[in-house]
Amino acid sequence: MTEQKESDVFSIEKIRRAADRISDYVVRTPLLSSPMLDRAADARVWVKPEALQLTGSFKIRGALNKVLGLSEQDRKNGIAAFSAGNHASAVAAAASIVGCPAVIVVPNNAPKIKVENCRWWGAEVIFYDPATEDRAEITQAIADRRGLTIISPFDDHEIMAGAGTTGLEMAEQLIAAGQKPDAVVVNCSGGGLASGVIEAMAHYFPDVEKYIVEPQGYDKMAHSLATGEVRHNPAVRHTIMDGISGPVAGKLPLEVLLRHGVKGLTVDDDEALAAVSAAFYTLKAVIEPGGAASLAAVLSKKTIFAGKTVAIVASGGNVDPAVYIRALTENPLRPA
Amino acid sequence: MTEQKESDVFSIEKIRRAADRISDYVVRTPLLSSPMLDRAADARVWVKPEALQLTGSFKIRGALNKVLGLSEQDRKNGIAAFSAGNHASAVAAAASIVGCPAVIVVPNNAPKIKVENCRWWGAEVIFYDPATEDRAEITQAIADRRGLTIISPFDDHEIMAGAGTTGLEMAEQLIAAGQKPDAVVVNCSGGGLASGVIEAMAHYFPDVEKYIVEPQGYDKMAHSLATGEVRHNPAVRHTIMDGISGPVAGKLPLEVLLRHGVKGLTVDDDEALAAVSAAFYTLKAVIEPGGAASLAAVLSKKTIFAGKTVAIVASGGNVDPAVYIRALTENPLRPA
């Protein structure tokens, strides 16, 4: 076993440093609960609504932590990102906050609201076709040409640590409320949020059960956990959970999730939409389908969660009104 | 001028005592802002989203403060309330929390969601016809018969003080963020929230401009402020802002609002719905039309608010999905 430098190890200290760096810029989101939601879930459910975060998702935490750590020259040159949406607007916002240029490479099927958000923050948007083009290659080519720093959506300890501040706050809020969670459940795509939140929660609650939730057919991280190697999704098809439908698991997040013995769960579109409507009725937070995956898991997998105290992250709220209306009208979950 | 007992004077001390009493039970809601919302308003807007509060509105703060102050015998006998909705579910929830029976007298045109919420909390619901019956008389008769304590929706210092904890938190959060508001803007019906919030905010920010917002045609408090006497609405017609459409201004709230030189504003249904949609896009909070009245005023009255730092309360989020969908589809205000 080779010796690792401190900087190679992902840890609670990195998350604490991120919290110190970004806390003046981000919202300390509340930790919400609802007796109606609890009864619907047959569990005690604590929800960290990162939809209320600046830019409408937790992603600004990682983007700011990364950008605030760049050299002055790197900031001046500018930053670039490829993303299905929430990372994109977060990088655009972080660039706007520190005053540097940003280029965002976006799939041409991304929700309109997320593309508009990038432009609103002043970023340049470049589209690609996810069926025929590789987003990483396109972004690398642009970055090389213009001298931009690429901000990884998840495969970077600074991004993971920023996202992990969500879990740090959640742990502090649970302790303040006198709560000891039995399980922590986090939406997962590349794994930046899941690894950061689970690292923080495991530090404060060593016995907590740890779950990630992915869309059915997009369970790349579950496959990665099972094999110990980074995996892609088996196939690209439609999911309403666009926020967590990226093609590949992150290498650095996978290391963390493997170390913590995390278990993988999946939910389908109907379960996600039902959770969106449950959040409308009980939490009064606008949650996007991908942001509601962990809530969907807790509401639908009672054999796992019934009777437990469960902490979850509702990771984003950037949802087109047509999708939101679908959640409110097609088989809504109205706790009663 | 006669001497007043301390208990006759509404003050910051009453609000602080309420905060001490209820803080273990209520959510410390965050103070949100959004660069997109700011640009749409041409102002710096700080929003206290009490939609995220237990029961979906600020009303639980007053109800709990009142019920926790009752004698053991009074609690055992039970409590009663008449309300268009949010006060009703708050009293039902407060009763459930302290373990006492509750009777709620509700207009037969109240939104279904609010009636269901009362029943969910275990309260007995009795309907009346607001066109032909007087809610206060009906409630008094039931209370006399059963020995119940009536919990006033607003005309009670304990209720006002509980509601005022919203303003106390808001002031603390503004100070922590290094903000000095130019104006505070509060939705108003009977005036419990407005009087409590303005008392607290004026204590910390003596120079702040103070506004209440009422639905057009329901500006009973503005008329009361103009005449110095409690007034009813000129006529009962439809408003989408059901949460702030009560028939009469509160006497005790009016005293406070007169003392602070509060100014009255009105908004119409379209402005309220536009504010609901703006909150969907920018804050990711589900706000009911009456809860969005102050946001509607800030977004529509730029001659008053442009260029200012403005603190508002988004007082509730209990909205039927059909109304919410209307806000998202009919002339939504999508800041861009």
Q: Residue A228, exposed/middle/buried by CB under 10 A (0-12, 13-18, 19+)?
A: exposed
DSSP B283: T
Residue A333 is predicted with a pLDDT of 86
Q: How far apart are CA B110 and CA B113, in angstroms?
A: 8
Encode pLDDT of B189-233 as tens digits. 999 999 999 999 999 999 999 999 999 999 999 999 999 999 999
| Nearest residue of chain A to residue B315 (CA atoms) | A284
DSSP A61: H
Four-point Cα dihedral A103, A105, A111, A115, nearest 10: 20
Residue A137 sits in the same domain as residue A226 = no
Cβ–Cβ under 8 Å, residues A105 and A129 = no
Q: Which of B219, B161, B211, B210 is nearest to B189 (CA)?
A: B219
- Which neighbouring-strand residues pair with B80? B103, B150
Residue B16 is predicted with a pLDDT of 98
Q: How far apart are CA A209 and CA A256, in angstroms?
A: 15
Cβ–Cβ under 8 Å, residues A176 and A169 = no
> Residues B24-31: what's their mean pLDDT?
96
**Tokens linked to B60:** 């639980």
Residue B216 sits in the same domain as residue B318 = yes
| Nearest residue of chain A to residue B116 (CA atoms) | A336
Question: Is residue A336 situated within a structural domain?
Answer: no
Which chain B residues contact residue A243 at CB under 8 A? Answer: none
Question: Is residue A1 situated within a structural domain?
Answer: no
Residue A76 sits in the same domain as residue A203 = no
Residue A208 sits in the same domain as residue A137 = no
Q: How far apart are CA A104 and CA A106, in angstroms?
A: 6
> Residues A231-260: what's their mean pLDDT?
91
- Give the rounded percent of residues in chain A with a pLDDT score beyond 90: 86
Cβ–Cβ under 8 Å, residues B173 and B199 = no
- Give the rounded percent of residues in chain A with a pLDDT score beyond 70: 97
Min Cα distance A280 → chain B (Å) is 7
Question: Is residue A334 situated within a structural domain?
Answer: no
Residue of higher predicted confidence among A186 and B234: A186
Question: Is residue B334 situated within a structural domain?
Answer: no
Question: Is residue B66 situated within a structural domain?
Answer: yes
What are the strands, taking DSSP E only, across chain A?
44-49, 79-82, 102-107, 124-128, 149-150, 183-187, 209-215, 263-267, 309-314
Which chain A residues contact residue B281 at CB under 8 A? Answer: 113
Residue A1 is predicted with a pLDDT of 43
Min Cα distance B321 → chain A (Å) is 6
Q: Which domain holds residue A130?
A: 59-150
**Of A97, A132, A150, which residue is a domain's last?**
A150
Q: How far apart are CA A241 and CA A291, in angstroms?
A: 8
The 10 Å Cβ neighbour count of residue A265 is 21
Residue corresponding to tokens 């509340």? A30
Residue A27 sits in the same domain as residue A99 = no
Q: How far apart are CA B73 and CA B76, in angstroms?
A: 5
Residue A76 sits in the same domain as residue A206 = no
Q: How far apart are CA B1 and CA B10, in angstroms?
A: 17
Encode pLDDT of B99-138 as tens digits. 999 999 988 887 787 788 899 999 999 999 988 998 889 9
pLDDT at A7 > cutoff 80: no
Q: How far apart are CA B146 and CA B165, in angstroms?
A: 32
- Cα first-last separation, chain A: 55
Which chain A residues contact residue B52 at CB under 8 A? Answer: 30, 32, 49, 283-285
Residue B1 is predicted with a pLDDT of 43
Tally of residues, chain B: 336
| Nearest residue of chain A to residue B281 (CA atoms) | A318
Check A284 against B116: CB less than 8 A apart. Answer: no
Of B54, B56, B321, the CB nearest to A328: B321
Q: Distance of alpha carbon A18 from its chain centroid, rounded?
A: 16
Q: Which of A302, A246, A280, A249 is nearest to B328 (CA)?
A: A280
By mean pLDDT, which of A137-151, B81-95, B313-327 is the weakest?
Answer: B81-95
**Of B105, B128, B150, which residue is a domain's last?**
B150
Residue B334 is predicted with a pLDDT of 83
pLDDT at B6 > cutoff 70: no
Residue B52 sits in the same domain as residue B87 = no
By mean pLDDT, which of A47-56, A81-90, A178-187, A203-212 is the weakest?
Answer: A81-90
Residue B171 sits in the same domain as residue B310 = yes
The number of CA neighbours under 13 Å toward the Cβ of B33 is: 18
Cβ–Cβ under 8 Å, residues A161 and A223 = no
Residues 6 or more apart whose CB falls under 8 angstroms from that of B134 comprise none
Strand order of the β-sheet with A44-49 is A44-49, A309-314, A183-187, A209-215, A263-267
**CA A2 → CA A5, A8, A76, B173, distances in Å?**
10, 12, 37, 48
> Residues B75-101: what's their mean pLDDT?
93
User: CA angle at residue A24 from A76 to A153, to 5 degrees?
Assistant: 55
Q: How far apart are CA A216 and CA A293, in angstroms?
A: 10
pLDDT at A46 > cutoff 90: yes
Q: Which of B328, B335, B266, B270 is nearest to B297 (CA)?
A: B266
- Give the rounded percent of residues in chain B with a pLDDT score beyond 70: 97
Q: How far apart are CA B153 and CA B313, in angstroms?
A: 18
The number of CA neighbours under 13 Å toward the Cβ of B87 is: 33
CB pairs under 8 A between A and B: 72
Residue B48 sits in the same domain as residue B66 = no
> Residues B311-329: what's their mean pLDDT?
96
**CA A216 → CA A233, A237, A242, A291, B18, distances in Å?**
10, 10, 12, 15, 48
Q: How far apart are CA A201 and CA A179, in angstroms?
A: 13
Cβ–Cβ under 8 Å, residues A275 and A293 = yes
Residue A43 sits in the same domain as residue A18 = yes
**Tokens linked to B286:** 């589900």
Question: Is residue A85 situated within a structural domain?
Answer: yes
Check B332 against A317: CB less than 8 A apart. Answer: no
**Tokens linked to A286:** 């606008």
Question: Is residue A16 situated within a structural domain?
Answer: yes
**Interface residue of A284, A323, A330 to substitute, partner B, most B CBs within 10 Å:** A284
pLDDT at A217 > cutoff 80: yes
The number of CA neighbours under 13 Å toward the Cβ of B67 is: 32
Which chain A residues contact residue B286 at CB under 8 A? Answer: 280, 284-286
> Residues A250-275: what's their mean pLDDT?
98
Q: How many domains in chain B?
A: 2
Which chain A residues contact residue B321 at CB under 8 A? Answer: 280, 328-329, 332
Residues 6 or more apart whose CB falls under 8 angstroms from that of A139 comprise A80, A81, A82, A105, A150
Residue A52 maps to which CATH number?
Answer: 3.40.50.1100
Residue A146 sits in the same domain as residue A249 = no
pLDDT at A4 > cutoff 60: no
Q: At what angle do helices B12-22 and B157-176 cross, to 10 degrees?
A: 90
Check B36 against A120: CB less than 8 A apart. Answer: yes
Min Cα distance B116 → chain A (Å) is 8
Check A284 against B51: CB less than 8 A apart. Answer: yes
**Of A128, A150, A172, which residue is a domain's last?**
A150
Query: What is the average pLDDT value for chain A, to the nearest integer?
Result: 94
Question: Is residue A316 situated within a structural domain?
Answer: yes
Q: Which of A46, A264, A288, A275 is nearest to A175 (CA)?
A: A46
> Residues B299-305: what's their mean pLDDT?
98
Residue A218 sits in the same domain as residue A162 = yes
Q: How far apart are CA A221 and CA A224, in angstroms?
A: 5
